[in-house]
Amino acid sequence: MSAAPKIQAVCIECDGTAHYVSAASGQSLMQAALGMGVPGIGGICGGDMCCATCIVRPAQDWVLRLPGPIEGERIVLQGRPPHHADDRLGCQIRLDATVDGLGVSLP
């Protein structure tokens, strides 16, 4: 039996440094990034959507391809200035085949 294919994503720091993430389908982007030691992803609340230490900004070509944020995510993000309309919580982005190759910027 072969292993399930890994989902790929890339997290880009402000200075342009790219961190490539490979994760099992179903993991959150935050979990995958923390597991691979990506700097700039805090995940202090463990994915409970309350600390906003996993904020990412999807690349423009991914913004409309991702499922939209749920109300709780929007509320958390609005309370964290400066807020950009495309910002997302990495804990709320589930990695699966539909987002393979996802690119995000880190604050």
- CATH number of 38's domain: 3.10.20.30
Mean pLDDT of the chain: 92
Nearest residue to 65 via CA among 81, 32, 88, 31 = 88
**pTM for the model:** 0.91
Does 79 map to a domain? yes
Does 44 map to a domain? yes
DSSP-assigned letters across all residues of 9-64: EEEE-TT--EEEEEE-TT-BHHHHHHHTT-TT---TTSSSSSS-TTEEEE-HHHHT
Does 101 map to a domain? yes
Q: Which helix (H) or strand (E) holds 105?
A: strand 102-105
Does 1 map to a domain? no
pLDDT digits (tens, 9 = 90+) for 13-60: 999 999 999 999 999 999 999 999 999 899 999 999 989 999 999 999
Does 39 map to a domain? yes
Does 2 map to a domain? no
Report the percentage of the chain scoring pLDDT > 90. 83
Does 46 map to a domain? yes
- Look up the domain containing 87 and give its range: 7-105
Could you give the number of structural domains in the chain? 1
